[in-house]
Amino acid sequence: KAGVTQTPRYLIKTRGQQVTLSCSPISGHRSVSWYQQTPGQGLQFLFEYFSETQRNKGNFPGRFSGRQFSNSRSEMNVSTLELGDSALYLCASSPGRRNSPLHFGNGTRLTVT
Amino acid sequence: DQQVKQNSPSLSVQEGRISILNCDYTNSMFDYFLWYKKYPAEGPTFLISISSIKDKNEDGRFTVFLNKSAKHLSLHIVPSQPGDSAVYFCAASQLLNAGGTSYGKLTFGQGTILTVHP
């Protein structure tokens, strides 16, 4: 079974621009969650989508948004990029049932200059 | 407000010996706990989990212990191997209240760097 696939692996953007990251979950998984990892804050939950609906959201500004498509693939968008948005963005998928572990992709490394 | 804490930033162990990684939590609503291993430039890899109705779960060389009264869990790796050298994260999740359900939100500790020496 193929794992969680995230594209692109690396991205360099300029302050003020916007960016879209993509995630393809494990086949059959209906839940996709997004996380931000930075040296200072560690792994922080952004949001979770299940069957195309956002069912949980972390404490991030509205510049961070996402969506999920009918095939469970998900995209995350960050608008008006700031230097502090430089981070590793991780996508995780799961069946969406209780006590099911999340399986992570290798992330997209975003650098904002 | 750090709800999941890994107080040891690093741990060094000899090959073949036991590695014990510790994690404390403060939120009594957490009901599912997980351990992940992470190599640089890769995403976290799921290792083992435990639900709050159990106090121990084993999978090969990995055993997780949960002490609910102390709000403490630990990961034992026996025997430790050089390939186990990585950053280990504990994580916790809770069933949301008020009718909402969400199993995709994990709260992570800050991680412990494990180094296993040959």
Task: Quick: pLDDT tens for B19-32.
Answer: 999 999 999 989 89
- In degrees to the nearest 10, what's the CA dihedral of A46, A49, A55, A60? 20
For chain A of 113 residues, list the mean pLDDT of each consecutive stretch of 10: 92 98 96 94 93 91 97 97 97 88 96 97
Determine contact, residues B47/B39, Cβ cutoff 8 Å.
no
Query: What is the band of B2 on the pLDDT scale with cuts at 50, 70, 90?
Result: confident
**A77/B115 Cα distance (integer angstroms):** 36
Of B32, B44, B102, the CB nearest to A104: B44
B32 close to A (CB below 8 A): yes
Supply the pLDDT for residue B77.
98
Closest CA relative to residue A22, chosen from A78, A103, A97: A78
Residues 51-110 of B with CB under 8 A from A: 51, 89, 91, 95-96, 100-110
To test the contact with chain B by mutation, choose from A99, A100, A108, A111 the residue with the greatest count of B C-beta atoms within 10 A, namely A99
Supply the pLDDT for residue B94.
83
Supply the pLDDT for residue B98.
47
